[in-house]
Each structure stands twice: as structure tokens, then as C-alpha cells.
Structure 1
Amino acid sequence: MTKKQKKMLTRIIAAAVLLILLNFLPVTGIIRFVLFLIPYLIVGYDILKKAWKGILNRQVFDENFLMAVATVGAIAIAFYEKSGDFNEAVAVMLFYQIGELFQSYAVGKSRRNISELMDIRPDYANIEQDGSLEQVDPDEVEIGTVIIVQPGEKVPIDGVVVEGTSTLNTSALTGESVPREAKAGDEIISGCINLTGVLKIRTTKEFGESTVSKVLELVEESTSRKSRSENFISKFAKYYTPAVCYGALALAVLPPLVRMFAMGAAPQWNDWIYRALTFLVISCPCALVISIPLSFFAGIGGASHEGILVKGSNYLEALSKTKYVVFDKTGTLTQGIFEVVGVHHNQMEEKQLLEYAALAESASSHPISKSIQRAYGKELDRSRVSEIEEISGNGITAKVDGRSVAAGNVKLMDRLGIPYKSCHKVGTIIHMAIDGEYAGHIVISDVEKPTSKEAIAKLKQAGIQKTIMLTGDAKQVADQVAADLGIDEVHSELLPGDKVEQVERLLAEKPAKANLAFVGDGINDAPVLGRADIGIAMGAMGSDAAIEAADVVLMDDDPLKIVKAIRISKKCLGIVYQNIVFALAVKGACLILGALGIANMWLAIFADVGVMVLAILNAMRTLFVKKL
């Protein structure tokens, strides 16, 4: 609990103890009145102060005004009737403050889930100068600087490991509790905690553009974007509170006047004023005004804890209505890393074929060439290679150990007049020829993410009506991936502009109340992310432009997080609607009972504080996310 919450708890306990003790004292009259004012003022002086300030600022109608009028009125009636029963007024203020304390604690708990992310903000970066480490402000570190991260320290800036091995705790960013291994050559994102070894990292971004800064910026902005439900409740409360105040005034004045002038009976002012005061306590809109924003706030907090950054409650609400999910392929459903998935050879051994291919490709930085070099797995002796010639759109020819080697596509084989064998596998095919003879071919493919197929299946279980894949890849490759993953519709060989056209078409075809989400990671996906009803970016490896354009950012690039995000949003919206219906139904019934004189202040306390506490407890369920 915070210092302020502890102070409030002390006031509540003190007032409660005094209230109980005063009921055992045999005092009456003015002394009893003064004694009961002590616990009343201890627990409620700030409510009276806020109500008075509201009146002075001409912002009269709020819950503080309702509680002040209701409790002061109840005390006045008890004093006027000389009943000495001041328990109700003190109890109403006491239980109201209990509800406020509970609400403050609940908001604090959900806020802590989000503010835990703030702990990833690094305080310093280590730079080695003259044989010793110097701590500098991360903002002062330029791109290309080598920084040193020791065990237990946060990685302050994005970069590439140049020396050292270690394990990293990425849970604050990704929600994944399993540590990640890091070694020389690996890309590292800021915000991770170095657990074991010392790492030397060459920075690739300035601190202001690094992952940790982007994440903090998104979190800080997330609470400023309100959903339709929140805006509705705010407008509802704006008109509702004055309406019930005037309704209570009418209830206090009109029935007595009717009895007196129309019926010739005694007006019974005290009875009707008491009913009006009860009506005011019941009508306090705390349950709605507090629980609805809290539900969304807790939902954003629960999602953040799972490594899903939702930029605002409006996007959380829109996500719950998603029925169509459109995917980019490379880097979204696939790893975006090309790997050798097959080596088909004639007479030459597989290892030797790979060696010739790796040596021939050793001067190229193309992803295909790099994948062949990785598959070979040994250090390349560039002195064995000569006469390298790269033929654009065809492949490479070279001399390896004095032998002529050609590695490329079918165009290269046709160009050299070498008969080749076709391959039944889907992927990029690198045909190999040694000394003018066909030696075999290597199959290279972009590997599917291990959770992609499961994610598509669970999206359909979660109520997604249609999954679509848009890609610039060849039709054969795209169709194969779509078939493997169970995607309903696929469009291939698309340029970035073509993707926008496809999304425009899908938006026009879908039902009005169904939302379309687009999931992508690359800079060429930014226009589509912005055009879709909901843009979801793969954050850890995604481009800055994609993250900026998206409404939801997945910090660990796991497609299963899309399912989790949709489930969180649906749970959150379900709880919001439950609270609205429950609060309005209970308050409506109690208002009728209060107006008829059946409900007293104790029922009013339940209708206000009890309903608020139950609604807050229900809202807090959005903090807890079930495992998939």
C-alpha cells in the first residue's frame, strides 16, 4: 500500500472503532451529536472539502457532492427528530471511504503491472576508457560505440554483441520467463537484463530510438486513448448525476406538497427528505465511473505483462471485435531467416557439394549465400577461391581449388548449357555444376515459426472467421506455406501497394461490425498496418515504421500472442458489459425501493459501495491472463 492508502486505512479504522464505542456510551442530546461528529469528520472531512471546492468551482454534481448532501442531511434529520441515531450517516461515509480505498488499491495494482515496464529504463551505460569503466548517460552514447554490460545490469541500448556470451532475462519486454542465450554476432534489444557473462555490445541505434525508449513511449501514451465504452460512461455520468440530484430534490418536495395541498394530509417532510437522501446515496455512479476505466486499464496491464503492448483502450475494444486477420508472411508467420532444408546430389558427397557452394558464395552477402555458408558450418578459406563472377539474376561462377564451379538458378544452367534436374520441393533452388557437369542442387527455404500453425488453429477457435496471407513471394512458395499452416486465403507476388489494395478490398467486403486486423513486421507493411482496423506489429524484430504505424505491438514476435491479445480484449469487454448491466440493474431496483420508502440507508450503502466493490473485483479479473 502507498503512504496515502495507509493513512486512509488508519482513518477508517479509527472512525470504525469510535463508532462502535459511541454506541455503548449512555449519552444523549447535544453531547451525543458532538461525539458522533468526531468519527464522521475523521473519515469524511476530505469528501466535504472536495464537495465544497466543487460548489465554488461551479462543478457541483459529482459523487463527493452526493455523499456530502446525503450524510449531512441524515445527520440533520436525526438531530431534528432528536432520535440520536447518527449511525447511518457515519456508516455511509465510512463504507464509502472503504470503497474508495479499495478502488485506489485496485487501480494501483493494475498500474503496477504497467509501471513494471518502467523498470526497464536504464540509468547508465558503461564505456571503457583508459582501462576502466565509466558510466555515462545513455542519451550521450553514439551509434557504433562499444558499451559493456556486466552481470545484473540492464542492456541500455540496442546493438550487436561483439564479444562475450551470456544469458538474458527478457521477461519485462516479452513476458517470456525462459532466459535467452546471447553470443558474439547476436542482435540484442535494450531493456533485457544480463544474467551471467560480461557482454561487449556495439550500438546500432541512439537511445531515443532504441527498443526500451519506444516501449516506454507506447506505455505512457496507452492510457490517454479512451474506448467508446469509457467515453459513453463519462458522458452518461455528466448527465446522470445532475438528473438524480434534481430527482432527489423533487422526491423530497413534491410528494409532501401533494399530500398537503391535494390530499389535505400532513406533509411528512422528514420521511420524504430521508427517502431523497437514500435516493442520493443509491444513485452515486461510482461503480460505473470507476470500474469501466479500471477494466480497460487492467486489461492493458495484463497484456503488457504478457509482452503485448496495446496503445490504448480504444484499440483493446476494437481488437475484441476482430473477425478477419490478415498476415504478412516473411518475419510474421515465417522466421525471415533462410535455411538449407535439403541437399540433392549426384555422385558427389553432400558435404563436399555444400563446401563448393559455400566457397563459391563466400564473397556474397546475399541472404541466400549466407544460408549456404551457415549450413556448411566451417570457416572458409578464401584463398581457395578465385575468378569469382556474379551474374545478376542468374548466380555465381568461380574457381575453387582450380575446378570450375557454378551455383545459381535454372537461368544460369541454361546459360552454361548444362542439363539440370527439377526439384519437387518448394523453396529457392540453387543448382550446382562442377567442371561443366551437373552435380546436384540445394533447397533453401524461409522456415515457418514453430507456433504459426498452432496460432492459426487457435485464432479460429477464438472466433476468427477468416485468415488471409499477403506476400511478395512466389505463388508456389506462398501456397505451400498457406497449406501447411491452414490459412483460408492467400495472395502472392504482391508489391507493397498491392497489399494495400487487397486490404482495401477486404475492408469493403467484410460486415460493418466485424473488424479486420493486419499483422506485419517490415517497413513495407507500415501503410497496411495504418489502413487496417487494427494494426499488429511484430515488435522485437520489426521495423520502427511498422511499430509506429501499429495499434498493438508484440514484443517477442510470437504469432500465438495474437490469440492471447484477442482473448484478453474479449475478456475485458465481457467484464465491462457485465459491470454496466449489473450496476444499472441493482441501482435501478434500489432507486425504486428507495423512492417507495422500502429501502433505507443500509441498503443504499450496498447499492453504492457494495456494487462498486463487486464491480471492481470483477474488473480486476482482466489482470489475470490464462496460459494458451
Structure 2
Amino acid sequence: MNKKQKKMLARILIAAVMLAVLNVIPVAGPLRLALYLIDYLIIGYDILQKAGKGIWNRRVFDENFLMAVATVGAFALAIYSGSGDYNEAIAVMLFYQIGELFQSYAVGKSRKNISALMDIRPDYANVEENGRLVKVDPDEVGIGSVIVVQPGEKVPLDGVIIEGSSSLNTSALTGESLPRDAKAGDEIISGCINMSGVLKIRTTKEFGESTVSKILELVENSSSRKSKSEDFISKFARVYTPAVCYSALALAFLPPLVQMMTGAPADFSVWIYRALTFLVISCPCALVISIPLSFFAGIGGASREGILIKGSNYLETLSHAKYVVFDKTGTLTQGVFEVSGVHHNEIENAKILEYAALAECASSHPISKSLQKAYGREIDLSRVTDVEEIGGYGITARVDGKAIAIGNDKLMKKLGIPYYECHSVGTIAHMAIDGEYAGHIVISDIVKPHSKEAIAELKKSGVEKTVMLTGDAKRVAEQVAGSLGIDEVYSELLPADKVSKVEELLNVKHEKEKLAFVGDGINDAPVLTCADIGIAMGAMGSDAAIEAADVVLMDDDPLQIPKAIKISRKCIRIVYQNISFALIIKFACLALGAVGIANMWYAVFADVGVMILAILNAIRALRVHNL
């Protein structure tokens, strides 16, 4: 509890004890009224103050005004009737303040939980200057500076490791509990926690442009983007509160006037009491507080899992996603070429890889790099001569004096060498040695381990159609889509074609159904922005992704996509539950209050009780780990 909450708790306890004592000791007359007024002011002076300020600033219709009018009116009725029963006025204010304290504590606790989960802002950076370490504010560190991160410290800025190796805890960024290994030459981002070795890092960004700053800015700004549900509640409260105030006024005076006109005795005190009860019941706190809190908790719970949602409007849109469109490379596949098969003629696999890696040693093409990686040894350039790259065909070279030709089927045809067709999925590199066909190597973009499971989870969670877009050849695209269970696939697309295809899909879907596009955020910003909701995955350290997307997945695990949708749907369910529950109870109690069945005690439950239950339900949106 903070200082303000402790002060409120003390006021509640004093007022409650004083109310109990006043009901025991025999006090009558003006002294009784004075003691009850003191008790009332102890518990309610701030509400009266806020109501007065609201009237002065022409913001009359709020919960403070409703409570002030209702409780002051109850006091006035007790004085007018001469009953001396001031308990209800004080009890209503007392329970209202208990509800406010609970709400303040619950909101504060959920904010603290989220702050703790997102506690990635570093307090300092150890800058190396003239052989010694100087502790400075991260804002003061320039690009190209050398910083030292000790075990247990947060990495303060983005950079490249120039010395040392360690394990990094990235859980605050990605939701991933397993540590990641890092060594010299690796890029490193701010917000990670160094777990073991000492790291020397050369910074590549200033703190204001670093990953941790971008993430914190994104989370802090998320509350400013309101959902349709929040806008509805704001508009509803603006109309609802004046309406119930005027209804209470009508309830207080119209029935007695009708009684007078019909010759019956006008019972003003009964109808004014009902009107005051009506005002207490009508307070819209449960809706005004719990709906934004539900979204806040949902966004906070998602951030805990490494899913950054830029606002409650995007959370709400995501919950209605029925179409999910994927860019293949880097999203469903690893985006890294690997040798997936070697089919030889009369030569060993290892020898084919060796000749291929040596012949391709001068090329920077991704396929060449994958061959060198599969070979796994240092390239001895002295063994290679007469390298010639033939654009669109492949490479010819001499390795250990042998004439090596490696490339596509067009190269084999060009050289007049008979070759075997390969029906494996991937890029086929055919090889000939001294004019004789030696075999071929299959190079594939490897599918991520959880891609198939992610597609199945999406369908289980209610996504009606999954689509894959790719620039790959039709045969490769269809094989990948088929193995993953994707409904539709469009291949051989240029970046502009992907935008056109998404726009086409947007035109055929139902208006209430939403289309989510999932990409790596690096080269598909136009598609991310034209979809109903853009999701960038594996975006840890990518400024482009954080800028372009509506939802940023810090990890590159495809299972984060169905998890994000499940989190959004749980949050929206809670919002609808709170709206339905609060309105049903409110309107039922308003009707009972108007006909005199519900007294002030019912009113207290309808206001404070509903608010507490709605807040407790809203906080459930924080718990998303096992979805």
C-alpha cells in the first residue's frame, strides 16, 4: 500500500469504529447530529470536495456528484423526518470509500505487476575510458563507445560483442525462459540480463533509439489507443449519468405531484428517499474502472509473454481475426538455407560437399554460404583455380586440378552433361566432375519446428482460413503449405504482388471478420500496414518491425501467434462479461429502487459490490501463461 492508500484505510477504520460506537452510546438531539456529521466528514470530505470542484468546473455529472447528493440527501431526510437515523448516509459513503480503496489497490497492484514484468530499463552503463570503468547514465553513452556488462547486470544499449561470451536471460523481452548463448561477434540488444561471463560491447545505437527504449515507449503509449468498447463506455457514461440524475429528480417530485393532483396525501419523503437510493445505485464506477483495467491487464499479460500490443484498439481487432496470412520466409521457415540432402552418383557425400564448397568459395550467394557451412571446415583457397561465375547458371572451377561445374539444370544442359531430375523440395545444385555427372545437392529453407503446431492451434482457436504468400517457386510453396496444413498458398509473388493479394483477401471477407498479416517486419512493412492487423514476429532488435506492426512478437516462435489471439479473446470475453454483469445488476436494482423494494443497503451492493467483482474479473486478464 502507498501512503495515500494507508491514509484512506485509517479514515475508513476511524469512521467505522465511530459509527459502531454512536450506535451503542445513548446520545440525542443536536449533539447526536454533530457527532454523526463529524463521522460523515471524516469519511466523505474528499468526495464533497471533488463534487464541489466538478460543479464549479461545469463537470457536474460524475460519481462524486452522485454520492455527494445521495448521502447529503439522506442526512437531510433524517433531519426532516426527525428520525435521527443517520446510519445509512454514513454507511453508503463508508462502503463507497472501501470500494474506491480496493479499486485503487487493485489497479496499483496490476500496474506494479506490469512494471515489474517490463522492468527492462537499465539504470547505468559501465563505459570503458582509459583502461578503467566509469558508471554513467545510458543516455550519455554515444555510438561506438565500449561498455562492459558484468554478470547479473542488464545490457544497457544495443551493440556488438567484441570480447567475452555469456548466457543471456531474455525473458523480459521474449517470454522465453531458456537462456541464449552469446559470444564475440554476435549482436546484442538492450534489456537482456547477462547471466555468466563479462561482456565487452561496442554500442551501435544511442539509448533513445535502442530496443529497450522502443519497447518501453510502445508499452507506455498503448493506453492512449482506445478500443471501441472503451469508447462505447466513455460515450455511455456521458449520456447515462445525466439521464439517471434527471430520472432521480423526476422520481422525487413527479409521483408526489400526481398524488396531490388526485387528492391523495403527497408523501415527498418516501419518493425523495427512493430517488436518493436510485442515485447511489446508478453510479457507473464498475464500467468506467473495470473496462480500461481489463485492457490494461490484457496488454500487460501479453507483454509478459514477449507479445507487445500497441493499444487496446489493436487487442480488440486481433480478437476478431478470422483470416491469418503468412509471409513464408522468416515466419514459417527459418529464412536460412541449409543443405537438406545429398544425392550422389558414384562419389561419397562428403566429397561432393567438399568440391561444392571449394568451387563456391568466391561467391557471397546464400546458397554458396549454405554449402560452405555444410562442409564445416576451413576453405583452402590454394586448392581452387580458374573460378568462373556464370550468371543464372552456376559456377565452374578447378579443384585439385579437377574440372568442377556446379549449378542448376540449365548449366548441365549448357555443358552438354546428362543429369538426373530431382523431385525433392528445395533448390537443386547439380554437380559434374571432369565432364561426368557426379550427383546433386538439395538446399532448403528449413521449416521452423513449431510452424505446423501453430497452424493447428490457430484453427482450433477459431481462425477460419490460413494463407501463405511467398516469392518461391510453386512446387516449393505448395509442398511447404501442404506439410503445414495451410488452406491457401500464392507463390512466385513480388513484394508489390503480396500487397495486392492481401487487398484482394480484404475485399472478399465479411466486414466484421478481421485479417491479420504475419511477417518478419523487415521487408514487408507495406503489407503489415494494409492488413487489418499487422503482426511482426522475431522482431527483437528490429526498429522497422516495431514501427510498422500493430503487434510485435519479440520471439520468432510461430506458437506466439495463436497465443496472441487467445490472449486478445480472453481479454475481450472479460470486457463483455463486465459490461453485461454491471448493466444487468444496475438496471435490475434501479427498477427495484424506483418502486421502493431496494433500500440504501441494496444500493451499496449494486455500486460497491458490482465494482469490486468487476475489478477482480478484470485482473484475470493478467493471467495468460497457460493459454
- 1:156 Cα deviation (Å)? 2.1
The answer to whether 1:383 aligns with 2:382 is: yes
**2:606 match:** 607
Partners of 1:184 and 1:374 in 2: CA distance: 19
**2:527 match:** 528
- Tell me the SS of whatever aligns to 2:468: strand
After TM superposition, the structure 1 = structure 2 runs for residues 139-288 of structure 1, keeping only pairs within 5 Å, are 139-260=139-260, 262-288=261-287
Partners of 1:151 and 1:609 in 2: CA distance: 49
The Cα offsets for residues 352-377 of structure 1, whole Å up to 9 and x where unpaired, read as 22222222223333222222222222
Partners of 1:429 and 1:206 in 2: CA distance: 44
The Cα offsets for residues 240-259 of structure 1, whole Å up to 9 and x where unpaired, read as 11111111111111112222
- 1:384 Cα deviation (Å)? 3.0
- Tell me the SS of whatever aligns to 2:108: helix
User: Contact 2:358–2:381 (CA<8 Å) still a contact in 1?
Assistant: yes
Which piece of structure 1 moves more, 521-530 or 469-478? 521-530
Amino acid at match of 2:466: T
Partners of 2:175 and 2:358 in 1: CA distance: 41
User: Contact 2:118–2:303 (CA<8 Å) still a contact in 1?
Assistant: no
Do the aligned partners of residues 333 and 126 (structure 1) sit closer, same or farther apart at CA in structure 2, a change above 3 Å counting?
same
- 1:118 Cα deviation (Å)? 4.5
User: Contact 2:164–2:184 (CA<8 Å) still a contact in 1?
Assistant: yes
- Structure 2, unaligned runs of 5 or more: none
The answer to whether 1:2 aligns with 2:2 is: yes
RMSD over aligned CA atoms reads: 1.8
The answer to whether 1:291 aligns with 2:281 is: no
- 1:294 Cα deviation (Å)? 1.2
**1:394 match:** 393
Do the aligned partners of residues 541 and 474 (structure 1) sit closer, same or farther apart at CA in structure 2, a change above 3 Å counting?
farther
**TM-score, normalization by structure 1:** 0.96
**1:42 match:** 42
User: Contact 1:189–1:540 (CA<8 Å) still a contact in 2?
Assistant: no
- Tell me the SS of whatever aligns to 1:397: strand
The Cα offsets for residues 322-358 of structure 1, whole Å up to 9 and x where unpaired, read as 1100000001111111111112222322222222222
- 1:539 Cα deviation (Å)? 4.3
Partners of 1:278 and 1:541 in 2: CA distance: 55
Amino acid at match of 2:499: V
Partners of 2:189 and 2:146 in 1: CA distance: 14
% identical aligned pairs: 76
**1:472 match:** 471
- Tell me the SS of whatever aligns to 1:426: coil
Partners of 1:370 and 1:432 in 2: CA distance: 17
Do the aligned partners of residues 159 and 522 (structure 1) sit closer, same or farther apart at CA in structure 2, a change above 3 Å counting?
same
User: Contact 1:469–1:487 (CA<8 Å) still a contact in 2?
Assistant: yes
Which piece of structure 1 moves more, 134-143 or 147-156? 134-143
- Tell me the SS of whatever aligns to 1:119: coil
Do the aligned partners of residues 50 and 464 (structure 1) sit closer, same or farther apart at CA in structure 2, a change above 3 Å counting?
same
After TM superposition, the structure 1 = structure 2 runs for residues 189-588 of structure 1, keeping only pairs within 5 Å, are 189-260=189-260, 262-540=261-539, 543-588=542-587
User: Contact 1:521–1:543 (CA<8 Å) still a contact in 2?
Assistant: no
User: Contact 1:117–1:173 (CA<8 Å) still a contact in 2?
Assistant: no
The answer to whether 1:60 aligns with 2:26 is: no
After TM superposition, the structure 1 = structure 2 runs for residues 25-174 of structure 1, keeping only pairs within 5 Å, are 25-116=25-116, 118-174=118-174
User: Contact 1:405–1:432 (CA<8 Å) still a contact in 2?
Assistant: yes
- Tell me the SS of whatever aligns to 1:241: helix
The Cα offsets for residues 93-148 of structure 1, whole Å up to 9 and x where unpaired, read as 11111111121122223323432355212233333232222334434545454433
Amino acid at match of 1:122: P
**1:620 match:** 619
Partners of 1:551 and 1:214 in 2: CA distance: 14
- Tell me the SS of whatever aligns to 2:168: strand
User: Contact 1:117–1:216 (CA<8 Å) still a contact in 2?
Assistant: no
- 1:589 Cα deviation (Å)? 1.1
Partners of 2:160 and 2:431 in 1: CA distance: 34
User: Contact 2:343–2:439 (CA<8 Å) still a contact in 1?
Assistant: yes
Amino acid at match of 1:331: G
- Tell me the SS of whatever aligns to 1:430: strand
- Tell me the SS of whatever aligns to 1:493: coil
Do the aligned partners of residues 159 and 392 (structure 1) sit closer, same or farther apart at CA in structure 2, a change above 3 Å counting?
farther
User: Contact 1:327–1:519 (CA<8 Å) still a contact in 2?
Assistant: yes
User: Contact 1:113–1:304 (CA<8 Å) still a contact in 2?
Assistant: no
User: Contact 2:324–2:515 (CA<8 Å) still a contact in 1?
Assistant: yes
Do the aligned partners of residues 34 and 192 (structure 1) sit closer, same or farther apart at CA in structure 2, a change above 3 Å counting?
same
- Tell me the SS of whatever aligns to 1:444: strand
User: Contact 1:323–1:516 (CA<8 Å) still a contact in 2?
Assistant: yes
Partners of 1:416 and 1:147 in 2: CA distance: 56
Partners of 2:112 and 2:385 in 1: CA distance: 62
Partners of 1:145 and 1:346 in 2: CA distance: 55
- Tell me the SS of whatever aligns to 1:64: helix
Partners of 1:541 and 1:96 in 2: CA distance: 45
User: Contact 1:529–1:546 (CA<8 Å) still a contact in 2?
Assistant: no
Which piece of structure 1 moves more, 179-188 or 470-479? 179-188
Partners of 2:402 and 2:162 in 1: CA distance: 36
- 1:391 Cα deviation (Å)? 2.3
User: Contact 1:355–1:376 (CA<8 Å) still a contact in 2?
Assistant: yes
The Cα offsets for residues 46-102 of structure 1, whole Å up to 9 and x where unpaired, read as 111100000111111100000001111111212222322211111111111111112
**TM-score, normalization by structure 2:** 0.96
Partners of 2:485 and 2:530 in 1: CA distance: 25
Do the aligned partners of residues 400 and 6 (structure 1) sit closer, same or farther apart at CA in structure 2, a change above 3 Å counting?
farther
Partners of 1:144 and 1:411 in 2: CA distance: 47
Partners of 1:207 and 1:375 in 2: CA distance: 38
Do the aligned partners of residues 148 and 348 (structure 1) sit closer, same or farther apart at CA in structure 2, a change above 3 Å counting?
farther
Which piece of structure 1 moves more, 425-434 or 415-424? 415-424
User: Contact 1:114–1:219 (CA<8 Å) still a contact in 2?
Assistant: no
- Tell me the SS of whatever aligns to 1:223: helix
Amino acid at match of 2:358: L
- Tell me the SS of whatever aligns to 1:36: helix
Number of residue equivalences = 627
Do the aligned partners of residues 101 and 36 (structure 1) sit closer, same or farther apart at CA in structure 2, a change above 3 Å counting?
same
- 1:190 Cα deviation (Å)? 1.8
Do the aligned partners of residues 539 and 25 (structure 1) sit closer, same or farther apart at CA in structure 2, a change above 3 Å counting?
farther
- Structure 1, unaligned runs of 5 or more: none
Do the aligned partners of residues 344 and 545 (structure 1) sit closer, same or farther apart at CA in structure 2, a change above 3 Å counting?
same
Do the aligned partners of residues 557 and 434 (structure 1) sit closer, same or farther apart at CA in structure 2, a change above 3 Å counting?
same
Partners of 1:406 and 1:518 in 2: CA distance: 42
- 1:400 Cα deviation (Å)? 2.6
